[in-house]
Amino acid sequence: MSKILIVEDEKNLSRFVELELRHEGYEAQIAKNGREGLDLALAEDWDAILLDLMLPELNGLEVCRRIRQVKNTPIIMMTARDSVIDRVSGLDHGADDYIVKPFAIEELLARLRALLRRVDLESKQNSAKQTTVTYRDLTIEKENRVVRRGDEIIELTKREYELLLALMENVNVVLARDVLLKKVWGYESQIETNVVDVYIRYLRNKIDRPGEDSYIQTVRGTGYVMRS
């Protein structure tokens, strides 16, 4: 359920928007002036903020600007004046969209849905970026634990996967056997570090191409590394 903050000093309007939002399945809360709106915006996590421009105590542009110093919460400015200056300054202060009063509630709901969709898509794309690790033609999609060499999916056991991930997330860093053991198996002690050698062998059998150099280099007496 998306959580929406309504910062609006006109009681009838804020109450109406609140009811409509709840009716649409959103969680909604009202702040009745700029100061309260800013405090609530910073204190809690909102999926979006509907922010009036003309507010007592702190105007909407100032609230918007101060929220943006710390947070990226999506903001729709509600402005009574349809002047280009107001719209532009709202967007300049970091608002994502604006709507001119008086507005039809359907338009507000449509803009809100569009904004939430856009933000959702962006965050998915960002997390997809962050969760993909690559080394040469090897790719790991961390989210679904898929390993590819080129287009080909390589099936790994849990330990092999963790081992490969540790190496690929530390390209050019030599990982000692005991470090790998701790990372992958969670052992604190020195128990059988040759387990690592055994699993490196399994891993090489699966990822390396016959006749070519291994992706994983052995650093004699120490451990393993993938070098760029």
Question: How many whole angstroms separate alpha carbon 191 and alpha carbon 183?
Answer: 14
Among 13, 40, 42, 54, indicate the residue that binds Ca ion (CB under 5 A): 54
* Residue 52 in the binding site for Ca ion (CB under 5 A): yes
Q: Side chain identity at 71, as an amino acid letter?
A: K
Least Å from the CB of residue 64 to Ca ion? 14
**Separation between Cα atoms, residue 29 and residue 64, nearest integer Å:** 17
9/96 with CB nearer Ca ion: 9
Alpha helices in 24-104 (DSSP H): 34-43, 60-70, 84-92
36 binds Ca ion (CB under 5 A): no
How far is Cα 37 from Cα 28, in angstroms, rounded to an integer? Answer: 13
Which segment (5-13, 38-46, 68-76, 119-127) binds Ca ion by CB under 5 A? Answer: 5-13
* 13 near Ca ion, rule: CB under 5 A: no
Residue 77 phi, psi (nearest 5): -85, 140
- Give min distance, CB of 10 to Ca ion, in A: 5
**CB of 101 vs Ca ion, minimal distance in Å:** 9
How many chain residues bind Ca ion (CB under 5 A)? 3
- 9, 36, 160, 162: residue in contact with Ca ion (rule CB under 5 A): 9
CA-closest candidate to residue 53, choices 67, 44, 63 = 63
Q: Name the residues that contact Ca ion, by CB under 5 A.
A: 9, 52, 54
